[in-house]
Amino acid sequence: MGRHLYNLSSHPVLNNRVKNFINITKILEIILWSYVLKLATRNNKEQISFYSYATFMMEQFEQDEFVKRFETWPSHAQVELIEKLISKMAHHQHSQIDAALQPMLQRDFISILPRRGLKYISERILSYLDAKSLHAAACVCKEWRRIIREEYMWKKLIERKVKTDRQWAGLVRRRGWDKDLFKPPQDKDYMRHQKLYYKIVEDLEKLEKHWTEGKYNTQIIQCQSESSKGVYCIQYDDQKIVSGLRDNTIKIWDRQTLKCTRTFQGHSGSVLCLQYDDNVIISGSSDATVRIWDINDLANTQPIQTVIQHTEAVLHLKFNKNMMVTCSKDRTIIVWEIKSRKELRMKQTLFGHRAAVNVVDFDDKYIVSASGDRTVKVWDAKNHEFVRTLNGHRRGIACLQYRDNLVVSGSSDNSIRIWDVESGACLKTLEGHEELVRCIRFDSRRIVSGAYDGKIKIWDLKAALEDGPSTRDLCMNTLFLHTGRVFRLQFDEFQIVSSSHDDSIIIWDFLSP
């Protein structure tokens, strides 16, 4: 008997009858449910019309059938129909359609990409977020939070800040928090780096407050020179301080123990200026010589090269890469090429100042010099031609620094001036020291100056540049611990290191007061 069975839907007449039967069944079902609903709500004030409800259900049934049919159409046919329907709608309906489409167009790509083997793209996108945005992203959903945690996005944020921000780099290094940075994570403590990030932010906020309020700790090195007392110049890093002394020696001091670890001898006059890098120390002296010393050869305390070109004391020098500039009491500036650590070649002598040239600074564009003749002069760093003179100080200029289009100079008229190197304009004059301003340094936030009055002053550079012609006091703090003239100072984001005629070096620590 099974041989006579066949598919009813293949017969055109029977197929239509089956469909009609199904449709009739649906309609009866609708009518039945309508009647039940009517009975259920007959006691309500607002009764549902049996006819209207049945009509609504019929229309709903037809819509469902249409949607099923629509789903079988090819993509282009679907799009064409929708475009026709939209064109027939009113303008206000278009906005409703747009509102309905917006959520449909959104895609959680952060969650989807890892499932498609593109986890690195999600990670790269999240790596551009700052802390506030990264925290917000972790609150979006569990999957985003999982990715942020398991891909160590907070660790990578810290690493990015350390690479691009000197303050972050310095603080992380000083606190010893850099041990597991820039290497694969050693544990699955996902929250540790998020906590560390906010700890760094907190410490930096405290540091800025210490600078503003003048809170610091001090360490003092007493040089105990046997003959002439005084420390004319210094440079430092995390491990050592290198100093040039009035007693003709160069001494290196250990930052941890504050003990002298090496002494270089060879100058026959006071060491007035010096600079070092990873290989050499180059110094200038009142004996009119420039000497080069091997900083790594612990057995050799004698110079490996001596250059005599100036006719009087070498008052200041600076070198960078293969270029060095020196200046002298003989009123000249000499530009040198550093051929090797044992060979200097004189390239050019610059004339123009009418008194001793006390200080020089340079970058790739300009050489800037200051003199006892009350002027700051600007020279072209490539062809060494004179560019312009900055006039304004009433007495000789003892110190300056040049960087980022600004020159800051200190004078025996007791004032500090801020200049625009391109225009030559004096942007601001700072007054507060009672004697000659002997040394000055600045960064993007502040100016630090030292004077013959024994005081170190910290000035608000940002406020000075934004303040216009106002004469209000821009000195944030005055440090007074040296008992003699302040000869030289350097500073960074965390400390000031200064030297004095009183034969001492003082470290002013603002990070851990």
Average pLDDT, rounded, for the chain = 89
Domain ranges in the chain?
A: 1-56, 105-148, 152-213, 217-509
Question: Would you say residue 159 has pLDDT above 60?
Answer: yes
Q: How confident is the model at residue 469 (pLDDT cuts 50, 70, 90)?
A: low
Read off φ and ψ for residue 404, nearest 5 degrees.
50, 45
Burial of 354 by CB count in 10 Å (0-12 exposed, 13-18 middle, 19+ buried)? exposed
189-to-149, 184, 297 alpha-carbon distances in Å: 9, 13, 45
- The reported pLDDT for the residue numbered 306 is 96
Q: What is the pTM of this model?
A: 0.79
Summarised one tens digit per residue, pLDDT across range 203-245 is 999 999 999 999 999 999 999 898 889 999 999 999 999 999 9
Instruction: Give yes or no for a contact between 331 and 289, defined as CB atoms under 8 angstroms apart.
Output: no
Q: How confident is the model at residue 1 (pLDDT cuts 50, 70, 90)?
A: very low
Q: How confident is the model at residue 107 (pLDDT cuts 50, 70, 90)?
A: confident
Tell me the CATH number for domain 217-509: 2.130.10.10
Of residues 219 and 125, the one with the higher pLDDT is 219
Summarised one tens digit per residue, pLDDT across range 172-187 is 999 999 988 999 888 8
Q: Report the C-alpha dihedral over residues 31, 33, 35, 41, rounded to 10 degrees.
A: -150
Structural fold of domain 152-213: Monooxygenase (1.20.1280)
Q: What is the mean pLDDT of residues 437-466?
A: 96
152-213 matches 217-509 in fold: no
Question: Would you say residue 99 has pLDDT above 80?
Answer: yes
- The reported pLDDT for the residue numbered 119 is 83
Q: How confident is the model at residue 335 (pLDDT cuts 50, 70, 90)?
A: very high
The H or E element that residue 293 is part of is strand 289-294
Query: In what side-by-side order are the strands of the sheet with 343-350?
Result: 314-320, 323-328, 333-340, 343-350
- The reported pLDDT for the residue numbered 104 is 78
- The reported pLDDT for the residue numbered 7 is 44
Tell me the CATH number for domain 105-148: 1.20.1280.50
